[in-house]
């Protein structure tokens, strides 16, 4: 993953939500990313790098982890999941494409899986559109534009314990790497 050093570190997203005693749900996270993406000043404040993704950590609702991410043309995440976290993301500027698997994968103890036919899903998320997802959701997110940066807001609960990265060749999915928070913060 290519990244530029953020010009600033974590700061609260506005408008913020009041503290909650209950863990945020997928719906809560989706509402948070919607409100945050509507903050034009916050979106415009993200430094954009023409070569690699940039990000700034935000304060999410109820102890969740949140990020504002800039996507240069042609960049993406590669196939990955967020382990035991639920999440939501929304495109604030530009258009992102999400490819995902509509299949529940084993959580641990495997290196290579052959996927069944019909498990692939794809959706285009222009500015103002997003989605939430459950635990162990395997996907990749791409900015397919050749000219325009995209910006998105993401939130996860519980805060990401790990991200599993995969490679994919046809119907074969291979676990390549497990990242922990210290690898990306």
pLDDT by residue (tens digit) across 7-38? 333 334 444 444 446 899 999 999 999 999 99
E strand or H helix at 42: helix 40-45
CB burial of residue 96 (10 Å; 0-12, 13-18, 19+): buried
Domain range list for the chain: 11-179
Give dist(CA 76, CA 72) in Å, integer. Answer: 9
Q: How far is CA 157 from CA 42, 116, 122, in A?
A: 22, 29, 24
Q: Which CATH architecture has domain 11-179?
A: Sandwich (2.60)
Q: Which of 39, 35, 36, 68 is nearest to 53 (CA)?
A: 68
At 98-156, the pLDDT tens digits run 999 998 888 778 899 999 999 999 999 999 999 999 998 999 999 999 999 999 999 99
């Amino acid at each position: 993953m290519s990244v530029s050093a953020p010009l600033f570190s974590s700061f609260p997203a506005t408008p913020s939500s009041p503290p909650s005693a209950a863990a945020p749900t997928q719906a809560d996270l989706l509402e948070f990313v919607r409100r945050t993406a509507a903050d034009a000043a916050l979106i415009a404040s993200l430094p954009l790098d023409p070569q690699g993704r940039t990000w700034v950590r935000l304060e999410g609702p109820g102890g969740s982890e949140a990020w504002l991410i800039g996507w240069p043309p042609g960049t993406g995440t590669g196939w990955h999941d967020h382990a035991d976290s639920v999440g939501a993301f929304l495109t604030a500027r530009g258009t992102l494409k999400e490819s995902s698997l509509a299949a529940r994968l084993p959580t641990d103890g495997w290196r290579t899986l052959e996927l069944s036919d019909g498990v692939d899903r794809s959706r285009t998320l222009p500015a103002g559109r997003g989605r939430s997802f459950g635990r162990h959701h395997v996907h990749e997110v791409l900015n397919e534009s050749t000219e325009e940066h995209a910006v998105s807001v993401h939130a996860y609960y519980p805060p990401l314990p790990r991200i599993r990265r995969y490679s994919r060749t046809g119907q074969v999915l291979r676990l390549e790497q497990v990242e922990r928070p210290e690898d990306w913060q």
